Amino acid sequence: MENNKNLVNEQNGKAKENWYLPYMNQKTKGEDVEEKQSPVAIFYCAGASNVGQATMLSAVKAANEVGYDKAALLCLASISGELKNVTNAAKESKAVIAVDGCPMSCAKKTLEMKNISVDKDLILTKDLKISKNFDLNSSVDLELIKDAVVSEVNKFY
């Protein structure tokens, strides 16, 4: 990729941009790209509840921590919309993690409906015992969730 140095955090050497999606977009279009190792793909439900919103916020924190060469954030809505670049990104990823707010597991179900295997479904209410409510301004322990996502990513390395 161009200007690859700019995509790397100079302090810790970890990729700091979510490069995998635009990279797969180029590949899907048949453009020449420098081949790179696929990261773990993270999808989150981003539901309209405290835990749903926390999936997104904590996934960003997790990817920032491990670096985007290890974990890529991909758009769940694009899977429903059958966008080829995101579908290809999921299918070519090292592993797929779904982060769901509650046992309705909307992220996991959405992926599986499009024949994308989910290697891990992290469910915040079940796995981390976080109570679900619909106060979108209520505080949720994002560090706890982030640590759980990081731990799941690291299991694939």
Nearer to ligand SF4, 49 or 87 (CB): 49
Cβ-closest residue to ligand SF4? Answer: 47
Nearer to ligand SF4, 71 or 124 (CB): 124
Rg (CA), the chain: 15
CB 51 within 8 A of CB 103: no
Which residues would be at the binding site for ligand SF4 (CB under 6 A)? 45, 47, 49, 51-52, 100-102, 104-106
Q: Which DSSP symbol is given to 132? A: P
Quick one: tokens of 134?
């619909």
Query: Min. distance of Cβ 103 from ligand SF4 in angstroms?
Result: 7
Nearer to ligand SF4, 15 or 86 (CB): 86
Nearer to ligand SF4, 84 or 126 (CB): 126
**4-9 long-range contacts, Cβ below 8 Å, gap at least 24?**
7/68, 9/67
CB 111 within 8 A of CB 118: yes
Tokens 């200007």 sit at which residue?
Answer: 3
Query: Min. distance of Cβ 101 from ligand SF4 in angstroms?
Result: 3
Query: Min. distance of Cβ 123 from ligand SF4 in angstroms?
Result: 8
Query: Min. distance of Cβ 145 from ligand SF4 in angstroms?
Result: 13
Distances 135 to 52, 78, 124, 129 between C-alpha atoms, Å: 11, 27, 16, 17
